Amino acid sequence: MKSRRFVLTFPPEATGEPITYNLIRKFDIMVNIVKADVSPGQVGHLVMEMSAPSKVLKDGIEYMKQQNVECVPIDRTITYRKELCVHCGACSAVCFAGALTMDRKSAELVFEPEKCVVCELCLTACPLKLFEIDLG
Amino acid sequence: MSKKRTIAEINEKILSGKAVVLTAEQVAAMGREATPAEIAEKVDVVTTGTFGPMCSSGMFINFGHTDPPMRMERITLNNVPVFAGIAAVDAYIGATETALPHDQYGGAHVIEELIAGRDVMMQATAKGTDCYPRTEVKTLINRESVNEMIMFNPRNAYQNYNVAVNSTSKMKYTYMGTLLPSFGNATFSTSGELSPLLNDPEMRTIGIGTRIFFGGTTGYVAWHGTQFNTGKPVNEHGVPVGNSATLALIGNAKEMNTRFIRAAYFEKYGVSIFVGVGIPIPVLDEDLARRVMIRNSQIETNVLDYGSPGHDLLGRANYESLFSGEISLNGKKIRTAPLSSLRVAREIAETLRGEIAAGRFLLTAPVENFKMTSGLNNLEIRL
Ligand code: SF4
Ligand code: SF4
């Protein structure tokens, strides 16, 4: 079972196909819509997580292509606006993965993205709201 | 006989560029080898610093009069209500007031925008009087357009503060940050051995009128802070365990700097403000030398369970272990994290050190010392 995130870009002219419905019903792909920005008559974007065995996922993506839906995989990453950070440490309190720690000597925040499990807790824990999810 | 000096003598040395000024961290490190008598001999001034969220903060502002004039009764700044129950165009921006329903933006953000020199939208209404006929106004204001911006914080610079943990199985969102369930973390909020009131715990040199570093400029201690309590138990190193004394501070916010005043929002709690404070301690004698030498390992505080309604006391921790990233509570190891910035606290102590060493900042003797108190009143529910 593979779970990956994708940005789907829909053409302005609706295909009439209930795409996400079909992915679930016809392909048996588990779908989780993370972010939707779709309005009629315009290019629409959808950020969606799909879980299914690799082969099924591939078929689903092929199906979307046939419907003129662009499908680009993304890997979520966490970023923060370092230049605004005051090194208070509030984010390090919630980062159980150990990606955010306070350097003992410099008393500065250290971010090691490779340890991040994208739990998203730092997004709300930072009192300055410096963290963002980068959707790739 | 150990050396004694007066503040006037120290100021003379500062003016002649001969004063020895160290930060509280430097003197704590020096104190591992030197005795209090030696420190009293060598060091004239020790600088401290803290940069943490301090809710009891705000700013008086005078907008200037419109033509025709107006006695403003309801005022908002960027949609945040501000206190208008004083003279016509005076107001007080409370740091924690919010622009409901957008409760992530509040008075602290308005204060930060004004200090940064940005425009802020002001709207006011009034019933109109014979002498103040105008009934409404909507305009933009900024640091240059208003007459005064006076930061006046009724409670800052807490002398020591609790450590927060959470015993419950649910996440707790508090002013001590996000507390993970089942003792998943412990948060604390002082700069330890750099903290102003921990370096002169009996406030021999800090009182009404003391000149300080405040938000990037020079400010003053106006009064003792609200909830001032010197009745807390003191450990064998002479520092109170848990939150005790506080300071009311005043300064010109037009001269402040957003490096040292920053708005904050704590999830599911509300708006607060990071305030930068630094206080110079004159080393008048051996007793004060002993105080400024205090090390993180000698400063202790209470660990409280913010998961319990009464914030039950669970134990004690010292700042050396708190800063190390882990404390041990009843045999259990808990990961720690600060909420107050040691990095900026150091910058404040260092800036103040530089100003004094360069002869630009002179020390003051308190106009009056604080009265020692014995405890706090609780609010009784009488109806
Ligand atoms: S998303 Fe989670 S793991 Fe990643 S940095 Fe933030 S708190 Fe740490
Ligand atoms: S909580 Fe925000 S301001 Fe504080 S250290 Fe983390 S990123 Fe920096």
Q: Where are the domains of chain A?
A: 2-74, 77-134
Mutate to test the interface with A, among B342, B346, B348, B350 (most CBs of A within 10 A): B342
Question: What are the pocket residues of ligand 1 if the criterion is a CB atom closer than 6 Å to any ligand atom?
Answer: A 78, 94-95, 97, 99-100, 116-122
Average pLDDT, chain A: 86
User: Over 80: is that where the pLDDT of A42 sits?
Assistant: no
Query: CB distance from B68 to chain A under 8 Å?
Result: no
At residue A1, the pLDDT reads 62
Assign A60 to helix, strand or coil: helix
At residue A2, the pLDDT reads 64
Percent with pLDDT over 90 in chain A: 34
Strand partners, A88: none
At residue B2, the pLDDT reads 61
Assign B266 to helix, strand or coil: strand
Helices and strands (H and E) in chain A: how many = 4, 8
**ipTM of the complex in this document:** 0.93
Where residue B60 falls among pLDDT bands split at 50, 70, 90?
very high
Average pLDDT, chain B: 95
Residue A124 CA to ligand 1 centre (angstroms): 11
Furthest-apart CA atoms within chain A: distance in Å: 60
Residue A118 CA to ligand 1 centre (angstroms): 5
Please write the tens of the pLDDT for every residue from A2-37: 677 787 888 877 667 788 888 898 899 988 886 677
Query: Which residue in this structure is represented by tokens 């037009």?
Result: B254
DSSP assignment of B150-211 equals EEEEEEES-SS--EEE--SSS-EEETTEEEPTTTT-EEE---GGG-GGGSSTT-SS--BT-E
A chain contacts of residue B323, beta-carbon cutoff 8 Å: 104
Q: Is the dihedral of CA B249, B250, B256, B258 positive or negative?
A: positive
CB contact under 8 A, B104 and A106: no
Testing ligand 2's pocket by substitution, the residue of A81, A84, A88 carrying the most ligand atoms inside 8 A of its CB is A88
Q: Which residues of B311-331 are buried (b: 16+ CB within 10 A; e: fewer)?
A: eeebeebbbbbbbeeebebee
Q: Is the dihedral of CA B315, B319, B321, B325 positive or negative?
A: positive
Residue of B241, B199, B207 whose CA lies nearest to B27: B199
CB contact under 8 A, B325 and A125: no
Strand partners, B261: B275
- The answer regarding whether domain A2-74 maps to CATH 3.30.70.260 reads yes
Question: CATH number of the domain at A77-134, please?
Answer: 3.30.70.20
B140 C-beta neighbours (distance < 10 Å), count: 10
Q: Is the dihedral of CA B136, B137, B143, B146 positive or negative?
A: negative
CB contact under 8 A, A90 and B52: no
Q: How far apart are CA A101 and CA A22, in angstroms?
A: 44
First to last CA, chain B: 61
Where residue A136 falls among pLDDT bands split at 50, 70, 90?
low
B chain contacts of residue A130, beta-carbon cutoff 8 Å: none
Closest protein CA for atom 3 of ligand 2:
A85
Please enumerate residues of A whose Cβ is less than 8 A from a Cβ of B.
86-90, 92-94, 96, 101-102, 104, 106-108, 121, 124-125, 127-129
Compute the average pLDDT of residues B99-122. 95
Please write the tens of the pLDDT for every residue from B200-210: 999 999 999 99
At residue A40, the pLDDT reads 67
B338, B50 contact by CB (below 8 A): no
User: Over 80: is that where the pLDDT of A90 sits?
Assistant: yes
Q: Say yes or no: do domains A2-74 and A77-134 share a fold.
A: yes
For the CA of B185, the nearest ligand: 1
Percent with pLDDT over 70 in chain B: 99
Helices and strands (H and E) in chain B: how many = 7, 26
- The pTM for the full model equals 0.85
CB contact under 8 A, A89 and B337: yes
> Could you tell me the two tokens for A81?
């606006």
Q: Which residue of A has its CA nearest to B271?
A: A127
Q: Count how many pairs of residues, chain A against chain B, have C-beta atoms within 8 Å.
A: 78
Query: Which residue in this structure is represented by tokens 């979307």?
Result: A64
Testing ligand 1's pocket by substitution, the residue of A81, A102, A121 carrying the most ligand atoms inside 8 A of its CB is A121
Of the partner residues B265, B323, B324, the one whose CB lies closest to the CB of residue A127? B265
Q: Which residues of B form the catalytic set?
A: 131
A126, A90 contact by CB (below 8 A): yes
